[in-house]
């Protein structure tokens, strides 16, 4: 399997925005319903979470791509599970204190909330990135075919 083409900054932004928009649309109403809090209150929290996560997403994926190029590993199931776990661990460090402050709850309660979100985001992150990579491969293959036909 060949190494993936490097991603541009524009592509990284599109990737991160798509990931976060879909997540916010799922999480804000679900959390508001589960916690019995106003949608606006949880919507603002999920937007704060999303902003932190989006910035972390771009940085982490850049670093992960560099590690892949340097070490030459394939993006099989093991690498994807490692990617998802490391990504989420980085978020816990920042998001638990933010949730505790915003919701006026203790750190333990915020950690439990984060564990609940983690149970959603681990498979979501794995599936989203895998699906994104498959879609990206198809788009790049079509572009290459169009270039070959036009030549």
pLDDT string in tens for the chain (151-residue length): 456 678 888 998 899 889 888 899 999 999 999 889 899 999 999 999 888 888 888 889 899 999 999 998 888 999 989 898 888 888 888 899 999 999 999 999 999 988 888 889 889 989 999 999 999 999 988 988 888 887 6
CB atoms within 10 A of CB 119: 10
pTM > 0.75: yes or no: no
Q: How would DSSP label each residue in 70-134?
A: HH----SHHHHHHHHHHHHHHHHHHHHHHHHHHHT--HHHHHHHHHHHHHHHHHHHHHHHHHHHH
């Amino acid at each position: 399997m060949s190494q993936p083409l490097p991603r541009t900054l524009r592509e990284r932004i599109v990737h991160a925005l798509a990931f976060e928009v879909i997540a916010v649309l799922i999480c804000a109403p679900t959390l508001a319903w589960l916690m019995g809090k106003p949608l606006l209150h949880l919507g603002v929290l999920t937007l704060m979470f999303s902003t932190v996560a989006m910035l972390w997403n771009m940085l982490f994926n850049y670093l992960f791509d560099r590690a892949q190029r340097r070490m030459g590993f394939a993006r099989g199931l093991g690498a994807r599970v490692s990617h998802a776990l490391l990504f989420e661990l980085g978020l816990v460090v920042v998001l638990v204190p933010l949730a505790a402050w915003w919701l006026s709850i203790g750190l333990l309660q915020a950690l439990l909330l984060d564990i609940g979100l983690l149970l959603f985001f681990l498979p979501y992150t794995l599936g989203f990135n895998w699906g994104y990579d498959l879609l990206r491969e198809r788009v790049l293959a079509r572009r290459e075919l169009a270039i070959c036909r036009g030549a």
